[in-house]
Amino acid sequence: MKRKILAALLASTMVLSLVGCGGGSAETPAADSGAAATEEAPAADSGAAEEAPAADAAAAGGDETLTVWCWDPAFNMNAMYEAEKVYQKDHPNFKLNVVETPWDDVQTKVTTAATSGDLSTLPDIFLMQDNAFQKNVIAFPDVCMDLTNSGIDYSQFAAGKTAYSVIDGKNYGVPFDNGAVVACYRTDLLEQAGLTIDDFTDITFDQYLENGKKVLEATGKPLISMQAGECDLIMMMLQSAGSSLFNEDGTANIVNNETLKIVMETYKALKDAGVLTEVNSWDEYVGDFVSGNVAGTINGCWIMASIQTAEDQKGNWAITNMPSLVGASGATNYSNNGGSSWAVTTKCANPDLACDFLASTFAGSTELYDNILPSGALATWAPAGDSNAYGEPNEFFGGDAVSAKIVDFATKVPTNITGAYYYEARNAVATAITNYINGSDLATELQTAEQTVNFNMQ
């Protein structure tokens, strides 16, 4: 099985350049998407990159340097620079060498190092997309360090987020950015239909459909648009009930997945009623809610950055939780879409230092999360939500303390199984929903999707 997974990973290295925050197509420009080229970015107040010394040398006051790979200077790299500053308060000799490395390059470099058997080319720490974590650890078990007993308190992170980097009961990642799903609405458009944000809070998709019909009648605008040929909303709906496209043993869970059937039927009902409309590209999707063509959207909380580019709509937006599925066992109003986590490599020259750094910052510092909040980096570390910064009102979203609300949402997201073939299964389901909407039989499409996944696995 490992050989099959390895072959699939090598074949899919290029397509794994999907955005870390958006779950959509490779063209999706999400908040933490990588730059076009790899270049070394000097860490704040850091000198030249050096190999990290052994733990005893560091304890004796020697140079303490860690090399980090991640992408997006304004988001992920900025977070690392701020973490460096926080850690240096108690560790003045500590330095980071942060190297800008787009996600597709990270994946290629990790694959090359693992398949060649030479891990010396890897950094001490690197950022990995959550949906790729399982595949990489299963295919390349020698790359990532087991962090289960590293001193990091995983109970303080949202369980749904942590689960992405748990394989065989062991923790291999430190959760970072928040991908908790939010439902965002234009309150001025809802008002025209006699509705408020309260009418969309803690509701079911049946209620969402009825509300959407009212909005469509009053304004002529759908509630939501989604990108055709993608299945972001499908995956969000599925996880909201704690369901997955895989079983715990790694086998495909599509044909007999009752929750998936409900999801597909619900999606089609929204589309048929005109409450949901489909567009051809990510730019069109963003343009729909920015220009007011639709009354809202449902996506990972990172989508709020795009919403806020429409400065003329300040004060006319509000967020709440997503609708829940009707008839699905374990249905909730919470889900996740996108995000990344930090991994420590087994070649790390000073693993004790790396683990203590992560435990003291991304897993232990409200100051860090306060400092990176203005860049849009929301935590899944629960204590961050109690800070004053997270309680600040956001005037764009009607003065609501949206940051604290999103952290709370993240703690309620059900866990799911991404599996080593997550992207293959996701693509198969995207084809199935497209064909189903166009008139194909649902059972037949689910059968075809599962056969496609099984073929890829074999």
Say if residue 257 is in the same domain as residue 281: yes
Name 126's bridge partners: 69, 343
CATH number at residue 360: 3.40.190.10
DSSP class of 330: T
Say if residue 330 is in the same domain as residue 199: yes
Q: Decide if 321 contacts 199 (C-beta within 8 A).
A: no
Q: pLDDT averaged over the chain?
A: 87
Question: Please, which pLDDT band fits residue 62 given cuts at 50, 70 and 90?
Answer: low
8 found inside a domain: no
Say if residue 211 is in the same domain as residue 157: no
The confidence score (pLDDT) of residue 28 equals 35
Q: How many domains does the chain have?
A: 2
2 found inside a domain: no
> At residue 13, does pLDDT exceed 90?
no
Q: Where a domain ends, among 370, 389, 408?
A: 389
Say if residue 279 is in the same domain as residue 367: no
Q: Read off the pTM.
A: 0.79
409 found inside a domain: no
Say if residue 146 is in the same domain as residue 41: yes
Nearest-5° Cα angle at 340, 95 to 183: 130
Alpha helix stretches (DSSP H) within 32-120: 55-59, 78-88, 103-116
Say if residue 193 is in the same domain as residue 253: yes
Closest CA to 253 of 413, 139, 418, 414: 418
Say if residue 380 is in the same domain as residue 425: no
Distance CA 383, CA 175 (A): 14
4 found inside a domain: no
Q: Decide if 126 contacts 118 (C-beta within 8 A).
A: no
Enclosing domain of residue 288: 181-335+417-457
Q: Where a domain ends, among 348, 369, 389?
A: 389
Bridge pairing between strands 296-300 and 181-186 = antiparallel
Say if residue 91 is in the same domain as residue 164: yes
Burial label, 248 (beta-carbon count in 10 A; 0-12, 13-18, 19+): exposed
Say if residue 316 is in the same domain as residue 328: yes
Task: Of 38-47, 66-75, 181-190, 315-324, give the lowest mean pLDDT range.
Answer: 38-47
402 found inside a domain: no
The confidence score (pLDDT) of residue 377 equals 84
Say if residue 217 is in the same domain as residue 271: yes
The confidence score (pLDDT) of residue 379 equals 85
Say if residue 127 is in the same domain as residue 248: no
Say if residue 41 is in the same domain as residue 152: yes
